[in-house]
Structure 1
């Protein structure tokens, strides 16, 4: 049994996922290995709250070293960057990758993973979703304009901005939205090119896909559906639970039971893993973005090779 979807992996850019002596340059080698093993994509997540290789830097290196892999952000936090600068950086990455970029974006969650990010970026927490939508709208104008752009939104007001370098992808790279609230589903269908959430229940995911597709159809649009999921291939379910527990504590500072309430996570033997993932595929996921539950790069390589035998 295999999963009937595209499958990608999140590169371990965070320092919490390295052991002593690990070489961060191995991230590029791991991207090359993922391509050789038949994966469809590599991804990088984004934060200034924990030490990590910056997402666009990691993906640029991966894009140059590979030929066919999609490179994607899962997810980028635009609030940490000036909107115009981000438009140029993303257009540049899409250009050097030959049009292989997918830009997953988010606005942050209340609590320790969202509000501190805004404080560090000196951007108000309030109306963060409106700010995100306007930022993406500005990017798209800058990616397609031949003349200076004037953008007057409710929060972003800019005059005579020179166009960004033209991306390889006509109209700019696709932008996918994370988030599963009713408002996020509606915004995804109206404004974004894809949906990249991580709901812990496949039935909730199916309901979300239906809502996004309904809104998109009413707007005459098509929206891709993907899933962000933490995985590990182990010999037994018990071993998988232990691995996930260690990963939750190392990466989030929380116990597995708490992480499982908010994210899709699974570890176990191949048949167990593929059955879990296939439920989301049947619910509408066309692309699985798999974060490997590891805490060092050597184990990442082993898990990458094991996962390839299961899902590629």
Structure 2
């Protein structure tokens, strides 16, 4: 069972006196507190420290944590250049990179980004899957690539990651098509369904797609992205999370929690809720901290760290039950 944290790289999660350089100390503190991964997200819509820049800064100052994206949007970057950057981060971290990718969503978090990147919105999922296939080919030393969208000949030698085949690549999203693609093509699945039951059924579909494609399911990491705030009680936690939702997404909590996994309340209540996802099959939880300045983020980090031993026990229990 792995418990990770999303670094607050977006300025919406900073107070007036916060300094971006504090994120380095934040990541190191999370590693010392027992978190097994540090994730960053990716966007051009809201001001933030760019995802790959953040991971490159963390690579030499951390030792054991997985460094991940949740989720990287490859269409924002030239595909060959992105392969070079990812391989470089994997080298600098001695093979600790995990790359979750996504194609963006309709509305202000999707289509405008394609316009800024001068790419068509149409066939975005084909573009995403083909970009990943191109990365893997480059990391394996290919000197040519011929896909539906990308065609390259006489590719010069590119940077190779320390692991054969490159870092694991996970897929975000939980639409029926995404579940099939995750099972057929990817090394992990990182959705944020608001209902643990939907997570369980989605994971079954991912596993079925993998089996149908002749792949083993044990090589697909079942992960979960969830917004978390531990507070005195549910009511006070919801007030704080509502402010977070409005600052981060421009929408009230009631709207956000219809589309994303969100949990708040006492430590016991949060543990019970996360335990339902563990029972549904999640084995790598990435927690986004519901706080709007770095000091409060550190407080939430410490509170969630206290839950790590219990979540690890729950993960071992359910893994043993599944194997028996």
Q: Could you state the TM-score of these two structures normalised by the residue count of structure 2?
A: 0.93
1:220 aligns with 2:220: no
Cα distance, 1:311 vs structure 2 = 2.4
Aligned residue in 2 for 1:165: 159
| 1:260 maps to 2:257 | yes
Query: C-alpha deviations, 1:259-303, integer Å up to 9, x for none?
Result: 011000011101100110011111110100000011111111111
Determine whether 1:197 maps to 2:199: no
Question: 1:18·1:297 contact (CA, 8 Å) conserved in 2?
Answer: yes
Alignment of 1:78-97 (within 5 A): 78-97=74-93
**Cα displacement (A) at 1:163:** 3.4
Cα distance in 2 for partners of 1:264, 1:8 equals: 15
Does 1:186 find its partner at 2:180?
Answer: yes
1:290 counterpart residue number: 287
Query: CA contact under 8 A between 2:3 and 2:284: conserved in structure 1?
Result: yes
Q: Work out the CA distance in 2 between the residues paired with 1:234 and 1:258.
A: 21
User: What corresponds to 1:110 in structure 2?
Assistant: 106
Aligned to 1:278: 275
Alpha-carbon separation, structure 1, partners of 2:101 and 2:62: 23
Residue pair 1:77, 1:106 contacting (<8 A) in 2 also:
yes
Q: CA deviation at 1:112?
A: 0.6
The gaps in structure 2 that reach 5 residues or longer are 310-324
| Residues 1:61 and 2:57 are matched in the alignment | yes
Contact 1:189 1:215 survives alignment (8 Å):
yes
- Displacement after TM superposition at 1:215 (Å): 1.4
CA contact (8 A) 2:170 2:188 kept: yes
**What does residue 126 of structure 1 align with?**
122
Query: In 2, distance between residues paired with 1:12 and 1:164?
Result: 32
Q: Does 1:299 align with 2:301?
A: no
Could you tell me which residue of structure 1 aligns to residue 201 of structure 2?
207
Give yes or no for contact 2:34–2:308 (8 Å, CA) kept in 1.
Answer: no
SS of aligned partner of 1:64 = helix
Q: Determine the structure 1 residue equivalent to 2:228.
A: 231
- Using the alignment, how far apart are the partners of 1:294 and 1:178 within structure 2? 23
Structure 1 residue 153 displacement after superposition = 1.2
- Checking the alignment, whether the CA contact within 8 Å between 1:63 and 1:69 is kept in structure 2 is no
8 Å CA contact 2:40–2:51 kept in 1: the answer is yes
CA distance in 1, matches of 2:4, 2:163: 20
Aligned to 2:307, what secondary structure does the other structure show?
A: helix
Contact 1:72/1:102 (CA < 8 Å) preserved in 2?
yes
Does the 8 A contact of 2:87 with 2:166 survive in 1?
A: yes
Q: How far apart are 1:220 and its partner, in Å?
A: 2.1
Partner of 1:32: 28
Please name the residue that 2:133 is paired with.
Answer: 137
Question: Which secondary structure state, in structure 1, belongs to the residue aligned with residue 98 of structure 2?
Answer: strand
| Structure 2 partner of 1:8 | 4
Structure 1 residues without counterparts, runs of 5 or longer:
none
Give the paired residue count: 306
Q: Which residue of 1 aligns with 2:315?
A: none
Given that 1:143 and 1:163 are in contact with CA atoms closer than 8 Å, whether structure 2 keeps it comes out as no
- TM-score by length of structure 1 reads 0.96
SS at match of 2:153: strand
CA distance in 1, matches of 2:47, 2:184: 35
